[in-house]
Structure 1
Amino acid sequence: MNYRVFGRCGWAVSEVGFGAWAIGGGWGKVEEKDAISALHKAIDCGVNFIDTADVYGDGRSERLIARVLRERREPVFVATKAGRRLSPHIADGYTEENLRAFVERSLKNLETETIDLLQLHCPPTEVYYRPEVFEALDKLVAEGKIRYYGVSVEKVEEGLKAIEYPGVRSVQIIFNMFRQRPAELFFSRCREKRVAIIARVPLASGLLTGKITPDTVFPPDDHRNFNRFGQAFDRGETFAGVDLEQGLRAVAELREILPAGFTMAQFALKWILMFPEVSTVIPGAKNPRQAEENALSSSLPPLEEGVMEKVRGIYERYIRSAVHHRW
C-alpha cells in the first residue's frame, strides 16, 4: 500500500481507503459477518482511512467500524458525515444545535471521544454561503469533539466555494473515469490551498467493474434500483449520473484497453490514483475479496500515457455531453 499526505492535516493516509456506505445499507443486503471481514481484510492490506456517515444504515456502518477497531492495534483514521439526518434536508437545518446533536450521536456510535474528520454530507448549495455553519464547526474543533472538518459535495462549484473557508481541510467529490471535470480546475485550487481530496464513487456504482450487464437486476433496497433517475437523492450518486445503457457501451471500449494484470475495478482505481492531487480514493467492499482487490490497485504499475489518452477519448465520445457540466 502506498500512502499520501492528507492536505494540511498532515496525516499519511492509504491512497486506497474504504468506503463504508455499502456495509451500512443502500446497496442490497450485506451480512454483518461479511462487512466485518471486509473491514478486517482492508486493514490487513494497509488501509488506514475509512469513510462512513451517520445515515449509512441509520448508524450501522459507524457501529460496525467501531466494533472492528476495538480489535485492531493499527492507527486508522475514520471520517464520518453529518447533515442528511435532517428531514426535510434544507439549509435552515444546518444549525449549531443540530450539528452538535449529530456529532454526539456519531461519537457514541464510533465509541470515541473525538471524530478524526467530520464532513458536511452533501448539504444544499446555500449552506456554503452561510459562514455561521463553518463557525459552528470551528467551535466543535475547539471543544475537541472533532479533530478536523471538511465537506462532501455534489458539484465542483460547491467545492470551490467550500475551500474559501480556512477551516475546511478536505473535500470529498465524485471523481472517476466517467466524472472527469474536477481535474480541470478544482484539483489545482485544492493543491494551492493544500486541501485534501477524497475521491468517491470511484467505480461509478459498480458500472466500471465491468460486472454489470443490461440484464442485471438490482434488489429493491439497492440505490441502483430506486435512485437511477435521482428519485431519492442526487442522480449523480448512482452510476455517477451516467445513463446505464450509454455507460455499458463505454465500459465495453474500456475493456478493450485493459492493461495486463489489472481487473476492471483496479484499472478504474489506478486511473484515479494517476492524479497526485487525490489524497485517497474510497471504493466500497461487501466482502474480503473485494476489499483485497481494491487495495491491491495501489501496488500495480502506473498507467501509460497512451492508456490515459484513450480513457479520455472514451469519455469524450460517450459521457461528456451528458454529465460534464451538470456536476
Structure 2
Amino acid sequence: MEQRLLGKSGIATSVIGLDGRSLSGEYGPLDNVMAFTVLAEADRSGVSFWNTADVYGDGLSETRTGAWNAFNPANRVIATKVGRNNELYPARHQYDRMRRSLEGSLQRMNVDCLELVHLHQLDAKMLQGDQVWRWLEDFRAEGLLRHYGVSVQTPEQGLLCLDKPGLTSIEIVFNLFRQEAAETLLPAAAKVGVGIIACQPLASGLLADKLTALSQFDARDYRNPSNAESRAVLGLPYGGFSLPEGLKAVEQLKALDLAPHLALYQLALRWVLDHREVSSAVVGVSSYEQLHHNVAVAALPPLSWDIHQRLRELPQRLALGPQDIAVPA
C-alpha cells in the first residue's frame, strides 16, 4: 500500500484509509464479528489510516476500533473527531466540555494519548477565532493528543484555518461530484504543509454504483431519509445531493464512458488518489470484500490527462455546483 505524508507532520498514512462510520452501523447493521473481520482485513491489506469520531454510533466506532487496536497492536494511525456530541453541539463548545469529550474518546479507544484529533465541523466564526485553537494546544501540552486538525464543510472554511501554526490536517468531502476543493483548498494546504483527508470519495455509495431508487436503508443508517436526528449531527449523505439527483448524475457519468476498462468505483477512487495533495481517501465498507476491492485501486495506474480533463468538466456538465450545506466527514 502506498504511503503518503500527512503534510509536514511526519505522519505516514495509507492512501486508502478506513472510514470508521461504517463500523458504527450508520451504513447499515454491522455486528462485532463482521466489524472485526473488516479491521483484520484492513491490517492485512496495509490500510494503516483509520478515521473515526466520537459521535459515530454514539461511540461504538471508537469502542470497536479501540478494542481491536488494544489486542492487535500495529503501526497504524487512528484519527478521531470532537465537537458534535450532545454536550458540545450545536453551541455549547467550552473548554471543560471538550476536555471531557476527549477523555471519553481516550477511554473508548483504550489509549493514553490520541494520535490525531479533528475539530468536527465547527462554525466558521469559531474556526476563525483563536480560542478553540488555544484549547487544542493546551490539550496537546497535557498529553491528551499529539496532533490536531479540522473537519470542514466547505473549502472556504478550510482556508480560514491554514494560518493556525499547529494545524496538521484538514478533512473535507472530495469526490467526482464535489470537486471544488481541487482548485482552492488543496494547493493552498500543500503550500503550507497541511495534509488533506478526502472523505466520501464514493459519495456515500453513489459512486460504488450499488444504489438504486428502490434501495432500502436500516433505521439507523444515516442515508435513511427518515433518520433526521442522525443527519442533524452528521450532515447529509451523497455529498449533499438527494438520492434521485445523485442517481441521475451517476447515470450521466456512466453514459460518458470515459474509462470503459474501469468500474465506476475504480474511476472515482483513482481520480481522488491522483491528486497528490490528498494524503488518504477514507472509504466506508461493510465487508472485507469491499475493502479488498478498494485497496486494489491504489495499485492501478493514474488516469490519463485526457480523462482528468473531461472529469474536471463533470460538475458543470451535470449542473452540480458547490453545496453550501453541512456534509459528513
Q: What TM-score range do you get, normalising by the shorter chain?
A: over 0.9
Moved more, 264-273 or 225-234: 225-234
User: Given the alignment of the two structures, is residue 172 of structure 1 paired with residue 171 of structure 2, yes or no?
Assistant: yes
Which residues of structure 1 form unaligned runs of 5+?
none
Whole-Å Cα distance in 2 between the matches of residues 236 and 156 of structure 1? Answer: 16
Whole-Å Cα distance in 2 between the matches of residues 212 and 22 of structure 1? Answer: 16
Name the structure 1 match of 2:132: 133
| Equivalence map 1:1-327=2 (5 Å) | 1-87=1-87, 89-91=89-91, 93-226=92-225, 232-233=231-232, 237-256=236-255, 257=257, 259=259, 262-321=262-321, 323=322
Contact 1:118 1:150 in 2 (8 A): yes
Whole-Å Cα distance in 1 between the matches of residues 230 and 23 of structure 2? Answer: 22
Contact 1:50 1:79 in 2 (8 A): yes
Hey, which bits of structure 1, 4+ residues long, moved more than 6 A?
Answer: 227-231
In structure 2, give the amino acid aligned to 1:284.
G
Note closer, same or farther for the CA distance 1:193–1:235 as it changes in structure 2 (3 Å cut).
same
Residue-by-residue CA offset, 1:54-105 (whole Å, 9 max, x unaligned): 11111111111112223334211000001111357234x2221111101111
Contact 1:229 1:235 in 2 (8 A): no
Note closer, same or farther for the CA distance 1:204–1:276 as it changes in structure 2 (3 Å cut).
same
Distance apart, 1:236 and its partner CA: 6.0
Residue-by-residue CA offset, 1:146-194 (whole Å, 9 max, x unaligned): 0000010111111111122111111100100000000111111101110
Whole-Å Cα distance in 2 between the matches of residues 208 and 233 of structure 1? Answer: 23
Whole-Å Cα distance in 1 between the matches of residues 208 and 79 of structure 2? Answer: 25
Distance apart, 1:303 and its partner CA: 0.8
Distance apart, 1:312 and its partner CA: 2.5
Moved more, 230-239 or 218-227: 230-239
- Tell me how many residue pairs correspond in the alignment: 325
The TM-score normalised by the length of structure 1 is 0.93
Whole-Å Cα distance in 2 between the matches of residues 57 and 151 of structure 1? Answer: 20
Structure 1 SS opposite 2:204: coil
Whole-Å Cα distance in 1 between the matches of residues 230 and 53 of structure 2? Answer: 20
In structure 1, give the amino acid aligned to 2:23.
I
The share of aligned pairs that are identical, in percent, is 33
Residue-by-residue CA offset, 1:125-156 (whole Å, 9 max, x unaligned): 22213311110100111111100000101111
In structure 2, give the amino acid aligned to 1:217.
Q
Moved more, 256-265 or 133-142: 256-265
Structure 1 SS opposite 2:24: coil
Contact 2:15 2:273 in 1 (8 A): yes
Whole-Å Cα distance in 1 between the matches of residues 110 and 219 of structure 2? Answer: 32
Whole-Å Cα distance in 2 between the matches of residues 275 and 56 of structure 1? Answer: 28
Whole-Å Cα distance in 1 between the matches of residues 180 and 227 of structure 2? Answer: 21
Distance apart, 1:207 and its partner CA: 0.5
Whole-Å Cα distance in 1 between the matches of residues 305 and 227 of structure 2? Answer: 33
Whole-Å Cα distance in 2 between the matches of residues 23 and 210 of structure 1? Answer: 21
Contact 1:154 1:174 in 2 (8 A): yes
The TM-score normalised by the length of structure 2 is 0.92
Note closer, same or farther for the CA distance 1:267–1:71 as it changes in structure 2 (3 Å cut).
farther
Moved more, 111-120 or 249-258: 249-258
Whole-Å Cα distance in 1 between the matches of residues 324 and 116 of structure 2? Answer: 29
Note closer, same or farther for the CA distance 1:254–1:235 as it changes in structure 2 (3 Å cut).
farther
In structure 1, give the amino acid aligned to 2:149.
G
Structure 1 SS opposite 2:58: helix
